[in-house]
């Protein structure tokens, strides 16, 4: 147990100084969502891969429809039908003077064609109204598709999406360090990539401690409470981008806890415990982990310390097991554990992922309250609040009690009152951490 009091920033720096980004692995696209890319992804094909139509209509030669209007439409011979997925006109034939090919959106522009006339600028072709649009003229003999009347001229390349107008071979699709979100997955798929090299999601094991804890859904008997921490923190770990495993509640028995943690190390990139870190008689996490450090291994073992913050004063941090897996021992009060997670575990998860931005965004806001808020001297206080972006205000929800789970559930921000502040008047400009 360190006798010195650690500041919030010192504790966070200690954690971030110890966690290293996870080794990259090759993942299938859908598994890479939210992960950080560690390679530059180059484009190997053109997108679109070929000139194609952006409309349902008729592929034409520009000179043929010059001067066309409603009164004097140009009549063209329909020589074929080109659906998306087809390879141009049958027999590799190109479009000759006076000819048109019916073409669907996304279908390749046939050789000889210079533009597409949208179907709305035509009579839809002889015998072929809109309902008939999808009928394959390729079933009919070539050139026997009838005629189309075109009511308007088109410029060269009109309604044509040029080959390579999106990306070209040799272009940089995504650079190393990019975060893979849905549009990035779309681009990777569009250029034909099925896997990418990324840092994987960290696997977070969440263990709550306390002989008083009962699993939700079971009967609550005298003196017992439902285990909410393991649920909240597993959800928070997922929200931070991790793969989260909820082990649930372990009784206040040091040997059981040690055995549970050892069992879990196999699937953990980081272990989070709640409860049992203060100075009570049953402070099981402290009892179980104070002794796990191997004297010969520098940096191994868990250090239990006091932080200059409220809530969340008692905290443990260190590494455990053969792989020196980081372990954060958070206090047991639900609000304390949740805020500790937000301030320390979330950044650690994001550092393991290789993300540059590990902290929640902060803003300044005007404190909206009926009366002044009091705050302990020498401790950074984190109060729950609701943030109004439009008004630029933040309003406290509930009090400072670290058991007030409902208030936490009704807040979307943390109001930060610095160490030297003992009272914050309504109207004060305050720092706010945005939780959503
Ligand atoms: P501890 O730090 O273990 O003494 O716990 C502090 C307070 O938080 C006690 O009132 C515990 O009952 C409560 N607490 C601890 N763990 C949990 C949990 N997983 N869910 C809900 N409350 C808890
Ligand atoms: Mg306890």
Ligand nearest to the CA of 251: 2
Q: Do the two domains 26-45+168-199 and 52-161 of this chain adopt the same fold? A: no
pLDDT band at 282 (very low <50, low <70, confident <90, very high): confident
Ligand nearest to the CA of 227: 1
Query: Which atom belonging to ligand 1 lies closest to the Cα atom of 228?
Result: 20
For position 300, what pLDDT does the model report? 61
Residue 222 has pLDDT above 90, yes or no: yes
Give me 428's structure tokens: 């004060």
Atom 17 (ligand 1) nearest CA:
332
pTM of the model: 0.89
CA of 225 to the centre of ligand 1 (A): 9
Query: How far is Cα 76 from Cα 114, in angstroms, rounded to an integer?
Result: 15
- Which residues neighbour 425 within 8 Å (Cβ) at sequence distance 6 or greater? 367, 372
- CATH fold for the domain made of 362-434: Beta-clip (2.40.340)
Q: Where are the alpha helices (DSSP H) in 161-228?
A: 182-190
Residue 299 has pLDDT above 80, yes or no: no
Residue 296 has pLDDT above 60, yes or no: no
Give me 196's structure tokens: 């990418």
- CATH fold for the domain made of 5-22+200-353: Molybdenum Cofactor Biosythetic Enzyme; Chain A (3.40.980)
Residue corresponding to tokens 């770990």: 237
State the average pLDDT for the chain.
93
Query: Which atom belonging to ligand 1 lies closest to the Cα atom of 275?
Result: 3
Task: Verify whether ligand 1 is closer than 6 Å to residue 169 (CB atom).
Answer: no
Which CATH superfamily does the domain covering 52-161 fall into?
Answer: Molybdopterin biosynthesis moea protein, domain 3. (2.170.190.11)
Nearest to 107 by CA among 142, 59, 71: 59
Query: How far is Cα 379 from Cα 311, in angstroms, rounded to an integer?
Result: 9
Residue 209's SS3 state is strand
H/E stretch holding 315 reads strand 314-320
Task: Verify whether ligand 1 is closer than 6 Å to residue 318 (CB atom).
Answer: no
pLDDT band at 348 (very low <50, low <70, confident <90, very high): very high
Residue 222's SS3 state is coil
Residue 223 has pLDDT above 60, yes or no: yes
CA of 431 to the centre of ligand 1 (A): 28
- Which residues neighbour 412 within 8 Å (Cβ) at sequence distance 6 or greater? 385, 386, 387, 434, 435, 436
Domain ranges of the chain: 5-22+200-353, 26-45+168-199, 52-161, 362-434
Residue 348's SS3 state is helix
Query: How far is Cα 252 from Cα 365, in angstroms, rounded to an integer?
Result: 42
Chain segment 98-144, per-residue pLDDT in tens:
999 999 999 999 999 999 999 999 998 864 444 344 444 444 444 44
For position 140, what pLDDT does the model report? 41
Task: Verify whether ligand 1 is closer than 6 Å to residue 276 (CB atom).
Answer: yes
Which CATH superfamily does the domain covering 26-45+168-199 fall into?
Answer: Molybdopterin biosynthesis moea protein, domain 2 (3.90.105.10)
CA of 31 to the centre of ligand 1 (A): 35
Task: Verify whether ligand 1 is closer than 6 Å to residue 340 (CB atom).
Answer: no
């Amino acid at each position: 147990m360190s006798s010195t009091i650690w500041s919030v920033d010192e504790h966070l720096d200690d954690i971030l100084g110890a966690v290293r980004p996870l080794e990259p692995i090759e993942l299938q696209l859908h598994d890479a969502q939210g992960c950080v890319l560690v390679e530059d992804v180059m484009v190997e094909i053109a997108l679109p891969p070929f000139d194609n139509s952006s409309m349902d209509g008729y592929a034409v030669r520009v000179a043929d429809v010059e001067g066309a209007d409603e009164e004097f439409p140009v009549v063209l011979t329909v020589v074929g039908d080109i659906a998306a997925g087809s390879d141009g006109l049958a027999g590799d034939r190109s479009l000759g003077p006076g000819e048109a090919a019916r073409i669907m959106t996304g279908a390749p522009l046939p050789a000889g064609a210079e533009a597409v006339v949208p179907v709305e600028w035509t009579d839809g072709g002889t015998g072929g109204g809109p309902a008939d649009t999808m009928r394959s003229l390729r079933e009919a003999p070539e050139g026997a598709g009838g005629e189309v009347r075109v009511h308007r001229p088109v410029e060269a390349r009109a309604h044509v999406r040029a080959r390579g107008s999106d990306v070209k071979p040799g272009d940089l699709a995504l650079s190393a360090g990019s975060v893979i979100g849905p549009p990035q997955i779309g681009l990777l798929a569009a250029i034909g990539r099925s896997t990418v090299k990324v840092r994987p999601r960290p696997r977070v094991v969440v263990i709550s401690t306390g002989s008083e804890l009962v699993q939700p859904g079971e009967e609550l008997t005298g003196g017992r409470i439902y285990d909410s921490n393991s649920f909240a923190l597993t959800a928070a770990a997922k929200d931070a981008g991790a793969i989260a495993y909820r082990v649930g509640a372990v009784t206040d028995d040091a040997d059981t806890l040690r055995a549970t943690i050892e069992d879990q190390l196999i699937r953990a990139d980081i272990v989070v415990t709640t409860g049992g870190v203060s100075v009570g008689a049953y402070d099981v996490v402290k009892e179980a982990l104070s002794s796990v450090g191997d004297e010969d291994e520098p940096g191994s073992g868990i250090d239990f310390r006091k932080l200059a913050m409220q809530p969340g004063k008692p905290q443990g941090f260190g590494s455990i097991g053969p792989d020196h897996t980081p372990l954060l021992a958070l206090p047991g009060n639900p609000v304390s554990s949740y805020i500790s997670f937000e301030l320390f575990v979330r950044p650690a998860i994001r550092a393991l992922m290789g993300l540059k931005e590990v902290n929640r965004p902060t803003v300044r806001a005007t404190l909206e309250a009926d009366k002044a808020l009091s705050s302990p001297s020498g401790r950074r206080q984190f109060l729950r609040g609701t943030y109004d972006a439009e008004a630029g205000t933040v309003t406290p929800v509930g009090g400072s009690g670290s058991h007030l789970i409902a208030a936490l559930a009704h807040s979307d921000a943390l109001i930060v009152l610095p160490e030297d502040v003992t009272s914050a008047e309504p109207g004060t400009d305050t720092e706010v951490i945005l939780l959503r």
